[in-house]
Amino acid sequence: MESSPRQAPVNGSKDSDSESISPAYAGFWIRVLAALLDSILLLMVMVPLLMVFYGPGVLFATESPGLAYDLINYVMPLIAVIVFWQYRSATPGKIMMGLVIVDAKTLGKPSFGKLVLRYIGYYVSTIPLLLGLIWVGIDKRKQGWHDKIAGTLVLKTDAKQQAKAGLESDNAENIAAGSVLKAQPDNTATAPEKHDPWKE
């Protein structure tokens, strides 16, 4: 189980504002809507390309008619999704819904390797009757199996900014507390010197 990105409060104080700055995870239905928007946008590009290569009959094809079909159907979506994840931290559908993909530990941009792992994780999520995708609606942090595999979260954009502000606030508090401890004078009592008359 991944740990929460929030740090423990200093000096045992209660984190009373944790709820106000904790991430607001993107839920199941808003992510479904984002995925539908992405599918529509992809089809608007893929269908005309397929028809250019194979004609209208390709829309009813039950098997691959050639290499171009495979490249357009499988390779092009992979490249498009990874590029959007890498440079925008979201696909167009997620951008329209105000969602962003972040690293589950740092709330920053996931590494390229994690993004590739996340894409591969989609296949793992869909194989058992889409259970890994449905898991978003069950999980406390709204992570699908692909998110858990890659160590990512999907947040609302304003929630990401709010959560990062909370992390920065915690870091500043920890640094300030450390500085105060270092600045405290050493109050160790020292015995007064005895008067030695022979030194006069």
- Percent of the chain with pLDDT strictly greater than 90: 64
Residue of 158 and 175 predicted with greater confidence: 158
- pLDDT, one tens digit per residue, over 37-49 is 999 999 999 999 9
Helices within 1-151 (DSSP H only): 18-21, 28-54, 67-70, 76-88, 92-96, 112-126, 131-134, 145-150
The SS3 assignment for 66 reads coil
Phi, psi values for residue 170, rounded to 5°: -60, -45
Q: What is the pLDDT of residue 13?
A: 45
The DSSP code for 153 is E
- Given a cut of 50, whether residue 183 has pLDDT beyond it is yes
Tell how far CA 44 is from the center of its chain: 28
Q: What is the pLDDT of residue 150?
A: 98
Q: What is the pLDDT of residue 154?
A: 97
- As a whole number of angstroms, the distance between CA 32 and CA 189 comes to 68
Give me the mean pLDDT over the 22-28 stretch: 87
- As a whole number of angstroms, the distance between CA 123 and CA 126 comes to 5
Query: Residues with Cβ < 8 Å from 34, sequence gap 6 or more?
Result: 91, 93, 94, 96, 97, 99
Cβ contact 78:120 at 8 Å? no
Q: What is the pLDDT of residue 23?
A: 74
Give me the mean pLDDT over the 16-43 stretch: 83
Q: What is the dihedral of CA 155, 93, 152, 124, to 10 degrees?
A: 140
Amino acid at site 103: D
- Given a cut of 50, whether residue 3 has pLDDT beyond it is no
Q: What is the pLDDT of residue 196?
A: 55
- pLDDT, one tens digit per residue, over 133-151 is 999 999 999 999 999 999 9
- As a whole number of angstroms, the distance between CA 95 and CA 120 comes to 21
Give me the mean pLDDT over the 55-82 stretch: 94
Cβ contact 21:168 at 8 Å? no
- Given a cut of 90, whether residue 84 has pLDDT beyond it is yes
Q: How many residues does the chain have?
A: 200
Cβ contact 90:115 at 8 Å? no
Q: What is the pLDDT of residue 159?
A: 63
**Mean pLDDT score across all residues of the chain:** 82
- Given a cut of 90, whether residue 28 has pLDDT beyond it is yes
